[in-house]
């Protein structure tokens, strides 16, 4: 399923009581309203609001690298 906000592929989030599709790129969760007047954010503003997994997915897509490689690099840097 494609995200209605950014067009990237959504992932099934099974960590909730009810499984929902979630976009790791922009943070959209299935069933949320889409704000028509949402301002465009820079990549830096977007990264500040992401958690570790979302950040790794966002960077991996932008750099064209495997997500596992980005995650391991982030763990080494934060240790």
In this prediction, residue 39 has a pLDDT band, given cuts at 50, 70 and 90, of low
Rounded to the nearest 5 degrees, what angle is found at the Cα of 67, between the Cα atoms of 61 and 70? 100
Q: Is the dihedral of CA 10, 49, 19, 15 positive or negative?
A: positive
What would the mean pLDDT of 31-57 be, rounded to a whole number? 76
- Asked if residues 11 and 19 have their Cβ atoms less than 8 Å apart, the reply is no
* CA 54 to mean position of chain CA atoms: 4
pLDDT of residue 68 exceeding 70: yes
Tokens of 57: 């997915």
Q: Which residue has the higher pLDDT, 33 or 65?
A: 65
- Asked if residues 3 and 9 have their Cβ atoms less than 8 Å apart, the reply is yes
pLDDT of residue 4 exceeding 70: yes
What would the mean pLDDT of 55-72 be, rounded to a whole number? 88
Tokens of 62: 């932008």
What would the mean pLDDT of 3-13 be, rounded to a whole number? 83
């Amino acid at each position: 399923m494609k995200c209605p906000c950014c067009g990237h592929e959504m992932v099934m989030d099974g960590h909730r009581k009810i499984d929902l599709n979630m976009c790791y790129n922009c943070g959209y969760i299935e069933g949320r309203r889409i704000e028509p007047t949402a301002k465009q954010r820079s990549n830096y503003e977007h990264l500040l609001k992401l958690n570790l997994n979302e950040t790794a997915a966002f960077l991996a897509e932008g750099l064209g690298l495997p997500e596992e490689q980005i995650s391991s690099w982030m763990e080494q840097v934060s240790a």
